Amino acid sequence: MIVQRIASGNTLPVLAVVGLIIALWYLMAIVLNAPWAYDQAGRQDTTLGFGELVAATWSQDRPRLPAPHQVTAELWKTTIEVAPTSRRSLFHHAWITLSATLLGFAMGTVLGILLAVAIVHNRAMDASVMPWIIASQTIPILAIAPMIIVVLASLGLTGLLPKAVISMYLSFFPVVVGMVKGLRSPDRILLDQLHTWNASEVETFLKLRWPAALPYLFASLKVAVAASLVGAIIGELPTGAVAGLGARMLSGSYYGQTVQIWSALVMASILAASLVALVGLAERVTGRLMGVRP
Amino acid sequence: MTTGSRAPVIEASGLSLTFATNDGPVHALSNVDLVVEKGDFVSFIGPSGCGKTTFLRVAADLEHPTSGTIRVNGMSPAEARQKRAYGYVFQSAGLFPWRTIEANIRLPLEIMGYSRAEQQERVRRVMALVELEGFEAKHPWQLSGGMRQRASIARALAFDADILLMDEPFGALDEIVRDKLNEQLLDLWRRTRKTIGFVTHSILEAAYLSTRIVVMSPRPGRVTDVIESTLPPDDRPLHIRESRDFLEIAARVRDGLRAGTDDEV
């Protein structure tokens, strides 16, 4: 029974892809780490057989590409074996990044929705603001992130908020674009219908535009939440790498600790996948409450 | 036609509406004079582009005439709309997909500020009127096309508008369902005595339902004939469509339609 269900569902294809990625990862580890292994062997005047080469490339302290088991071991060491409050705990760093992500995501969502509402209801806003919103996203975030941190620091704001602001800067954009489309999505007939009942703008918004826009909102939120995480990580880079996943990546690169960088990367991607999955769950629950066709 | 006790509900005189398009002006309505009286069931029939829907939309304040005047219940269409003088049924049911059938019918009542108890009572009454009891908690996608259209009609009846404007409400339905809904609509009209403006493509439908049939023709959209039905308004079983009177009316509608389009076919 269980075997059948696994075989017929998504599980098997997903496992196959994961297996393929891990196999490719091990292979690349051999290729990328081989020069250093040969170099070491050359200094000791020994030659490496294939078995020895593989063993050597998968167990270096500072490999170009750490092997999956090395990253897993590092993850285990920095999550399970230390208290979550410790500064050495990856959970501690992940939480610092996550808190900035969530605050930035919330601010970006609210800002994005407010802008979209203004754009849909005001012709002047539509003509004047939209080009600036698009222009804002053409500036490389790496260039503007330090400015935001410096400016906010001079106003006395440090810590969580500057990172959240950078997060917001990335996440409001998909929300604006999706919501403008969503709020304009209702059929002409439904708008006419409300007009014949002499409904006000506010009623039209609450009873038609907003519910019609929700599917667009959730699609946007999935993009926005991932962008928020990227924003929070980038926000941690110029702060002197004190704490957070971005800090782990930066300090890892200072000291050539590739295993540390990769474990922070894996943690970040687990975080992103979980956040997107949570938005997807909220979408399904909302859909069910709204009686959407399953 | 104008017996003393009957009051005009929709009066149009010299009504014209021209749309500016990329291909030049389109004369959707040209110099239309028409009176719809209280309790009438008036059908508008004609080929596409004859302005039948446009006329209904002008009466509903969804389009604005270029020239001429139109009064609805003695008011401008905008005032009539603000006074909620009419219910409008669109070509597709236009139900809100995230609302249950009951909540869809309740929507105009919510907007018009009826009390909760009054909403409940009215929804129950009109759902019974269109025979949709038992489907209160269903969502539109769970209903057939005919049931959706009935819900849409119930919604237009839920508040106290004494005019019902219907734009090809049964156009997308198959013939069997359409017959049934035609019968139900006549029955409903008999019981409520609302004034009905009904746009259709179908000669049979127009001849079966109406007390008056307005035949229109396109380019420019104009009225070419107004036919008074000789059928008894209160006794029209479906098989009346085989009677001599019925066939004569249908023939006259067909002739009117042909005359209006002869010059270009």
Q: For chain A, report the end-to-end CA distance as a whole number of angstroms.
A: 26
Between these two residues, B2 and A165, which has the higher pLDDT value?
A165
Describe the crossing of helices A141-154 and A160-183 by its angle, rounded to 10 degrees: 120
Quote the pLDDT of residue A81.
87
**Does pLDDT of B265 surpass 60?**
no
Tokens of B130: 């269109």
* pLDDT bracket for residue B14 (50, 70, 90): very high
Residues 6+ apart with CB under 8 A from A43: none
Counting residues of chain B whose pLDDT is more than 70, the rounded percentage is: 96
* Averaged pLDDT, A241-255: 85
Please name which of A191, A167, A187, A183 lies closest in space to residue A113, comparing C-alpha atoms: A183
Counting residues of chain A whose pLDDT is more than 70, the rounded percentage is: 97
From chain A residues 196-225, the ones with a CB under 8 A of any chain B CB are: 196-199, 203, 207-208, 211
Q: Are B257 and B45 in contact (CB under 8 A)?
A: yes
pLDDT digits (tens, 9 = 90+) for A13-45: 889 999 999 999 999 999 999 999 999 888 988
Instruction: Tell whether pTM > 0.90.
Output: no
**Does pLDDT of A209 surpass 70?**
yes
Quote the pLDDT of residue B2.
43
Between these two residues, B149 and B263, which has the higher pLDDT value?
B149
**Does pLDDT of A87 surpass 70?**
yes
Q: Are B153 and B92 in contact (CB under 8 A)?
A: no
Please name which of A114, A115, A78 lies closest in space to residue A252, comparing C-alpha atoms: A78
Instruction: State whether A189 and B92 contact (CB < 8 Å).
Output: yes
Tell me whether strands B195-200 and B41-45 are parallel, antiparallel or unpaired: parallel
Quote the pLDDT of residue B5.
52
Of A189, A196, A291, the CB nearest to B60: A196
Q: Which of A185, A190, A197, A210 to mutate: most B Cβ within 10 Å?
A: A197
**Does pLDDT of B13 surpass 80?**
yes
Determine the Cα–Cα distance for residues B56 and B43; give it in Å rounded to an integer.
11
Of B62, B91, B98, the CB nearest to A195: B62
* pLDDT bracket for residue B3 (50, 70, 90): very low
Strand order in the sheet with B212-217: B86-89, B163-167, B195-200, B41-45, B212-217, B222-228
φ/ψ (deg, to 5) at B14 = 60, 30
Of A51-65, A104-118, B131-145, which one has max mean pLDDT? A104-118
b/e code A123-141 from CB counts within 10 Å (16+ = b): eeeeeeeeeebeeebeeeb
Instruction: State whether B111 and A208 contact (CB < 8 Å).
Output: no
Quote the pLDDT of residue B233.
84
Quote the pLDDT of residue A241.
55
Q: Are B57 and B44 in contact (CB under 8 A)?
A: no
Quote the pLDDT of residue B129.
84
Tell me the H-state helices in B15-131: 52-59, 77-82, 101-111, 116-129
* pLDDT bracket for residue B144 (50, 70, 90): very high
DSSP per residue, A191-209: HHHHHHTT--HHHHIIIII
Quote the pLDDT of residue A108.
97
* Averaged pLDDT, B114-126: 94
Q: Are B17 and B66 in contact (CB under 8 A)?
A: yes
A67: number of Cβ within 10 Å: 23
Q: Which residues pair with B37 in a beta bridge?
A: B8
pLDDT digits (tens, 9 = 90+) for B32-61: 999 999 999 999 999 888 899 999 999 999
Quote the pLDDT of residue A240.
59
Between these two residues, B49 and A210, which has the higher pLDDT value?
A210
Quote the pLDDT of residue B82.
92
Between these two residues, A89 and A216, which has the higher pLDDT value?
A216
Q: What is the largest CA-CA distance in chain A?
A: 91
* Averaged pLDDT, B80-86: 91
Q: Which residues in chain B are closer than 8 Å to A211, comparing Cβ atoms? A: 96, 98
Counting residues of chain B whose pLDDT is more than 90, the rounded percentage is: 64
Instruction: Please determine, for the modelled complex, whether the ipTM score is greater than 0.95.
Output: no
Residues 6+ apart with CB under 8 A from B64: B17, B58
Of A14-18, A106-110, A141-145, B219-223, which one has max mean pLDDT? A106-110
Q: Are B43 and B213 in contact (CB under 8 A)?
A: yes
Of A192, A197, A208, the CB nearest to B62: A192
Instruction: State whether B62 and A190 contact (CB < 8 Å).
Output: no
Of A192, A198, A211, the CB nearest to B98: A211
Instruction: State whether A207 and B107 contact (CB < 8 Å).
Output: yes
Q: Are A258 and A62 in contact (CB under 8 A)?
A: yes
